[in-house]
Amino acid sequence: MQISSRFSIGVHILSLLAIRPQDHHTSEWLAGSVGTNPVVIRRVLGHLKKAGLANVKAGSGGATLARELDEITLLDVYRAVDVVEEGNLFHVHEQPNPACPVGANIEQVLRLMMFKAQAAMEGVLAAVTMRELVDVLAREIEEKRAANG
């Protein structure tokens, strides 16, 4: 099982808005960078707008950042795009055999471990701002630009 690609698409969109602020950020333009359909971009932008991370103008008005990059964490993006319901990153298989000692007890034990794992992952996402990510991304872009002359 994987986390929805909406998370990486949301991070990609916000990164583009920050790195290329002079461009007209339509869903078609953003989709060209992300490599997906503009409809997917519009859906993700809708989530980002609802969370107060992006501004979106109707029609071909384009999108802009709604907050400073250092005020947005990866956890904000993760939560904005509804990757998973809170506390439900992992799922326990349904209908284990209640007559089996493992089947009768695995869910409560496994849920505790999975809750701890999700909390740890969310802690890491909360500790990284979009500013940090975009700064590293900008350095990568510049290094490749310099290497390619």
CATH of the domain at 102: 1.10.10.10
Write down the pLDDT at residue 1. Answer: 44
Domain of 128 in residue numbering reads as 6-148
Place of tokens 């333009």: 29
Q: Is the pLDDT score of 91 beyond 80?
A: no
Distant-in-sequence, close-in-space partners of 125: CB < 8 Å, separation ≥ 6: 73, 74, 75, 78
Asked if the structure places residue 1 within a domain, the reply is no
Element (H, E) at 55: strand 54-57
Taking the CA atoms of 18, 66, 61 and 50 in sequence, report the sign of the dihedral they define.
Answer: positive
Asked if the structure places residue 131 within a domain, the reply is yes
Into how many domains does the chain fold?
Answer: 1
The pLDDT tens digits for 25-76 are 999 999 999 999 999 999 999 999 999 999 998 877 799 999 999 999 999 9
- Answer for the pair 72, 14: CB distance below 8 angstroms, yes or no: yes
CA–chain centroid gap for 79, Å, is: 8
**Model-wide pTM > 0.75:** yes
Asked if the structure places residue 28 within a domain, the reply is yes
Residue 83's pLDDT band (cuts 50, 70, 90): confident
